[in-house]
Amino acid sequence: MALYKLTLRELQERFTKGEVTACEIVQAYTLRLNQLEPKVRAYITPTKEAALVQAEALDEKLKGWRRTMPLMGMPVAVKDNICTQGVLTTCASRMLGNFVPPYDASVIARLRGQSYLLLGKTNLDEFAMGSSTENSAFGPSRNPWNLSRVPGGSSGGSAAAVAADLCAAALGSDTGGSIRQPAACCGVVGLKPTYGRVSRFGLVAFASSLDQIGPITKDVADAAMLLGVIAGHDPLDSTSANLPVPDYAKALKKKDFKKLKVGVPREYFAEGLDPEVEQAVQAAIEEIKQLGAEVKEIALPRTDAAIATYYLIATAEASSNLARYDGVKYGLRSKETGNLLDMYMKTRQEGFGPEVKRRIMLGTYALSAGYCDAFYGKAQAVRTLIRQDFEAAFREVDLIVTPVMPTPAFKLGEKSEDPLQMYLSDIYTISVNLAGNPAIAMPCGFSKAGLPIGLQLIGRPFEEETLLRGAHAYEQVTNWRAKRPNIR
């Protein structure tokens, strides 16, 4: 089997045994990238030449002994809103088109500590604001299952790269579904950890109370392995939880749902859900029952308020976070300006794309004098109620199962002119970010058009072991993960 077809864990095993060198791994992926990247456009900044130099040095270092670290020699892609020292970090925006960070994000420092190999920085919706990767200043990425379809967003480049075997695994970020939704679109596994489980230091901020970094991988075991490396307390992040990191691999040893109670929220199976998606998810629920789970219907009554709540809180925080891009400190500066105020205005006009401008204006309005309490304050109060809904549900069940998105991947350009329809793509994922819970997306079927359909499992805060156990158990009795896009 070609090296690029292997899972992260399988590739690690071969590398550990000395059956393959780091150089051979990079060369295999380089050939794959040269062949398919012009079609998929998953990357903004490929770093395959630098990866080969790193691989040569690593092979020389490893002569006579083998490594024990999980990510050593492994080719990983990183979403381009996560800072990488010495490598462009653009956030898919003209505003940061030439920004080279002088430091690594904490998750990158952890990967570097394991001698991983960076294959490149992946495409995204500008500043992670979108659900299709069409908002990128560098053009859209494409879904490997059908190049006329979106790969999802905002981590669409990372999901497309994993699905097309253009990397062994990738990092994404999830503010309202931006790991899980593209994972569902591309038929791979995407894990959003509990808020605070993974450091946000070095993640370019969109909405600070919602953002979380997580893995996108070919299967659940790979997600567990990568999460185990990047998770943990970080004193550089004030929101990082000072809790021990469990051995997530142990959670995968139980391959059933026995003694687990699983909730199915009635609000997630209502009008607007594509019949093919509903059928695939219901079939997955039946499989979960066969694995020994006690499945019961539950209520998450404030689900209908999640979209409005999210788009007040997220845009308000985006308005505040993106105020730093003013042409003074770093990033783009407009050249033709008359005075300081003119420079601010022209820089932001030239540097930001339409969706980012839209969200900045929405957030600025929500925070403006006379409206802050009515909009932002009310949204925060409703957010508390949404979190309380999840807390009440998890007193009855151990996991919650839902669709990831209402439809399979839609066509490029299909929703570009209708922001509300685009926002509704995240209707099943947004509540999880508002509540801060962990959730995982994984394939559970295909549409008649051959597009992947995703299943979402949601867990209690900081109980990623239970989440991974359930996801792995379902994965083992199905064959969806073995299906790969036929792209050449």
What's the CATH number where 203 sits?
A: 3.90.1300.10
Residue 43 pLDDT more than 70? yes
Residue 296 lies in a domain: no
Same domain, 250 and 349: no
Same domain, 85 and 230: yes
Task: Say yes or no: 236 and 375 in one domain.
Answer: no
The answer to whether residue 64 sits within a structural domain is yes
Q: What is the pLDDT of residues 345-370, one digit of tens each?
A: 999 999 999 999 999 999 999 999 88
The residue among 462, 11, 26, 485 whose CA lies nearest residue 225 is 11
Question: Percent of the chain scored above 90 by pLDDT?
Answer: 90
Per the structure block, which two tokens stand in for 94? 């003209």
Is 139 a domain residue? yes
- At 87-142, the pLDDT tens digits run 999 999 999 999 999 999 999 999 999 999 999 999 999 999 999 999 999 999 99
373 & 408 share domain: no
> Is residue 84 located within the same domain as residue 176?
yes
Check residues 73 and 256 and name the one with the higher pLDDT. 73
**The pLDDT value given to residue 66:** 67
Q: Tell how strand 169-173 and strand 75-79 pair up.
A: parallel
Residue with the bigger pLDDT between 186 and 424: it is: 186
Question: Three-class SS of residue 422?
Answer: helix
| Same domain assignment for residues 242 and 373 | no
Whether residue 253 is found in the same domain as residue 140: yes
Statement to judge: residues 165 and 249 lie in one domain? yes
* Residues 405 and 368 reside in one and the same domain: no
The H or E element that residue 448 is part of is none
CA distance 14 to 171: 22
Which residues have a Cβ under 8 Å from the Cβ of 476 and sit 6 or more positions away?
A: 255
Residue 67 has pLDDT above 80, yes or no: no
Each residue of 253-282: pLDDT tens digit? 887 888 899 999 999 998 889 999 999 999
pTM: 0.97
3 state SS of 208:
coil
Confidence band for 477, pLDDT divided at 50, 70 and 90: very high
Among the candidates 319, 349, 381, a domain finishes at 381
Given a cut of 80, is residue 65 above it in pLDDT? no
User: In this predicted model, what pLDDT tens digit does every residue of 157-209 receive, in sequence order?
Assistant: 999 999 999 999 999 999 999 999 999 999 999 999 999 999 999 999 999 99
Please report the pLDDT score of residue 420 as a whole number.
80
Whether residue 477 sits in one domain with residue 330: no
Q: 437 and 374: one domain? A: no
Positions annotated as catalytic residues are 79, 154, 178
Domain end: 381, 413, 431, which one? 381
| Among candidate residues 381, 411, 443, the one where a domain is terminated | 381
Cβ(441)–Cβ(184) below 8 Å: yes
Which of 281-295, 418-432, 459-473 is predicted with the least confidence, judged by mean pLDDT? 418-432
* Predicted pLDDT at 405: 97
Between 371 and 145, where is the model more confident? Answer: 145
Q: For residue 284, tell me if it sits in a domain.
A: no
Planar angle of CA 202, 153, 103, nearest 5 degrees: 15
Give residue 46's domain range.
Answer: 3-263+399-482
Does residue 341 lie within any of the structural domains? Answer: yes
Indicate the number of domains in the chain: 2
- Residues 293 and 251: their CA atoms lie apart, in Å, by 16
Same domain, 161 and 41: yes
Confidence of residue 400 (pLDDT cuts 50, 70, 90): very high
Distance between CA atoms of residues 347 and 71, nearest Å: 40
Kindly state the percentage of the chain with pLDDT values over 70: 99
User: Is residue 275 domain-resident?
Assistant: no
Surface-to-core class of residue 449, CB atoms within 10 Å of its CB (0-12 exposed, 13-18 middle, 19+ buried): exposed
List 192's β-bridge partners, or say none: 439
Mean pLDDT of the chain: 96
Mean pLDDT in residue range 139-165: 98
pLDDT for 34 beyond 90: yes
36 belongs to a structural domain? yes
CA torsion, ordered 197, 392, 390, 188, to nearest 10 deg: 80
Determine the pLDDT at residue 158: 98
